[in-house]
Amino acid sequence: MFENHQLDCLPQHQSIEFKPLADNALLHTQLSWLLFYLPLMAALAAVCFFNQSFASVAQTPLIIGLPIILLLSLIFNVFSVRLKGVAVRSHDIAYQKGVIWRQVTILPLARIQHTEIHRGPLERKLGLASLRLYSAGGMSADLSMSGLSHADCKDMRQFIQDYTQHNQASEQSQNSLSVNEEELSNE
């Protein structure tokens, strides 16, 4: 099985120290959630106000249920943001997330096809950005990391670009070297 004698000296991803998200990330998550949730509550309140038959059935469960859901969601967001983290190693980027299903995704830099920095209005206001990394074969972005500071995002993108350029340059020089060797052997 798994014939690999070098396993002991391999860099182990379990020992990665993840850097937490930016300070404003929690605020951004909570505000984003409220921006979705409060209009929904307002719409339901309006329906209750104008439709008495609906109100007689749904008013009490909504008055009790909605604040509980809101509170639980806000608490869940706190855990969710605290458990997220990102780490850049020499050859890959790792991202961990998840409260119930904890996952660690690692994407080798050499496999990144393109990168995107995305900033919504709220993110711009809070100095945040999302970094999306795409490789081949994924349905969408392989890594979509929100709640990072804009400066961190730009640094990471630059790091990836430098890595890719360096790789391409070394590949080209390797190719030209092999062409020269081939020509010499032909002569």
Partner 1 sequence: MNKQHWQRVSPWALLYFVLHFAYRFIKDGIFNLLPIAVVFVTQVENKLFWGKIGALVAVVGLLLYSFAYYLNFRFCITDDHDILLNKGVFKKERLTLSFLRVQNVNVAEPFYFKPLGRVNCIFDAAGSVSQEVVLPGVSIAYAEGVREQVLTYKEAQQPIEQQASQDKQEQESQYRLKLSNTEVAKFGLMSNMAILALAALAPFMNMLFDFFEQAVINRLEAFYEQEVGLLVDAAALAVFSLLFMVVMIAVLLSVMMSLIRFYNYELYFQGGKFKRISGLLERHQLSVSLEKVQSIVIKQNPIARILQRYTIQCFQATSGVTTGAKSKQSLVMPVLKREQVNQMLQRIYPWLGQTEIDFKALQFKGVEQALLIKNLFFYAFIPSLLFAVFNYYILASHLFYSVVIVAVLSCLVYLSYKRYGYYFYHHQGRYYGIFRSGMLGVQYRVFELYKAQSTRGVSTHLMRRAGLKSLYIQLASGNVNLPYLKANVANEIIDFTLYQAESESRNWM
The answer to whether residues 132 and 116 touch, using CB atoms and an 8 Å cutoff, is yes
Q: Identify the bridge partners of residue 128 per DSSP, sorted by sequence position.
A: 149
Residue number with CB closer to partner 1 (110 or 151) = 110
Residues that bind partner 1 (CB under 8 A): 1-4, 6-7, 10-14, 91-92, 98, 100-111, 135-140, 142-143, 171, 174-175, 178-179, 182
DSSP assignments along 10-30, one per residue: SPPGGG--PBP--TTHHHHHH
114: DSSP letter = E
Q: Which is nearer to partner 1, 111 or 118 (CB)?
A: 111
* CA 122 to chain centroid: 17
Alpha carbon separation from 181 to 30, 169, 171, 174 (Å, rounded)? 61, 18, 15, 11
Smallest distance from partner 1 to CB 28, Å? 25
Q: How far is the CB of 20 from partner 1 (least distance, A)?
A: 20
Pairing of strands 85-88, 92-97: antiparallel
53 vs 186 by CB, closer to partner 1: 186
CB closer to partner 1, 86 vs 128: 86
Closest approach of Cβ 183 to partner 1, in Å?
A: 10
Shortest approach of partner 1 to residue 86 CB, angstroms? 14
